[in-house]
Amino acid sequence: MLQCNTFIRIGNMGQLTITLPDELETKVRKHSREGNYDSVSDFVREVILRATSERPTYWERAHLVYLMEIKQRLGEDVNEELLDALRDGYPKHYSLLDNHILRDELADEEVEFVHNVLQMYADLQSSYNQSKKKDLNIKKNISFPGFDGNAGDGHLGYLSFLVKHGRYTYVKPLDKGDAINSHMTITSMYERMLSKYNQIKRGVFDREPLTLDQISTIIKEQIHPEHRSN
């Protein structure tokens, strides 16, 4: 079992003790020896610094340059300043990558929320279409209103991704091929609707369509309780 004290200066001096299993210890000692490091701690320090750095590694740079050069040969536009910076190794200009890469991944719960909303609207619309009775007010209110592009929650971006790749295009008006920006705060409305929808669905078979009364009960949640007339 290997224990090594690694010192990394970031403002103040810090000490970190790392315990490794025997198999990994052998690999660490081998790599530190073959890499001509002064000590195991020096090797571990460099590995940690590389892992926590936002700069691309040499091979990541090489891969990006290769892909960008292919795009150039195909006649596509590339950011030549970024290409030269990656090729020649000028880290100060790597921030240009921010214009091409979204750093934060969309959390699983946000992904699930978008799917749940879309599946709910798909069920509302399908159930209405199967109903012999029709109600124009209900038909109007089961049209999917989209997600707010200014909310910063990533919902509209993920919706755009889904529509681009042919998902949920049977949900109107997504059948027109465009993601819908609601231009208003809408998450809390969907949360109320989903709560009522799930409550109702627990009492029916999965493939059983909703009744008009059940649909009406769900879309009633589009209005905040404080603003309802009855």
The two structure tokens encoding residue 187: 């998450």
Mean pLDDT in the chain? Answer: 84
| The three-state (H, E, C) secondary structure of 7-66, written as one string | EEEECEEEEEEEEECHHHHHHHHHHHHHCCCCCHHHHHHHHHHHHHCCCCCHHHHHHHHH
Q: Which amino acid is at 156?
A: L
CATH entry, 108-227, from 3.40.228.10, 1.10.3190.10, 1.10.287.3510, 1.10.645.10: 1.10.3190.10
Helices 212-219 and 187-201, packing angle to 10 deg: 150
Q: CA angle 120-126-129, nearest 5°?
A: 140
Residues of the chain with pLDDT > 90, as a percent, come to: 43
pLDDT of 197 reads 96
Mean pLDDT score, 8-17:
53
d(CA 46, CA 34): 14
| Buried-exposed string 48-57: b where 16+ CB fall within 10 A, e elsewhere | eeeeeeeeee
pLDDT of 11 reads 44
More confidently predicted of 102 and 200: 200
Long-range (24+ apart) CB contacts under 8 A made by 26-34 are 28/2, 29/2
d(CA 222, CA 189): 5
Give the three-class secondary structure for 4.
strand
- The domain limits of the chain are 2-52, 58-99, 108-227
pLDDT of 6 reads 43
pLDDT of 186 reads 94
Assign 121 a pLDDT band (cuts: 50, 70, 90). Answer: very high
Residue for token pair 């993601």:
179
Do the beta carbons of residue 39 and residue 32 sit within 8 Å? yes
Of 150, 152, 110, 138, give the one whose Cα is nearest residue 222. Answer: 138
5 strand-pairing partners = 17
Quick check: 137 pLDDT over 50? yes
User: In this predicted model, what pLDDT tens digit does every residue of 158-183 receive, in sequence order?
Assistant: 999 899 899 999 999 999 888 899 99
pLDDT of 223 reads 93
Give the three-class secondary structure for 147.
strand
User: In this predicted model, what pLDDT tens digit does every residue of 65-112 receive, in sequence order?
Assistant: 998 899 888 888 888 888 898 888 888 787 777 666 655 678 899 999
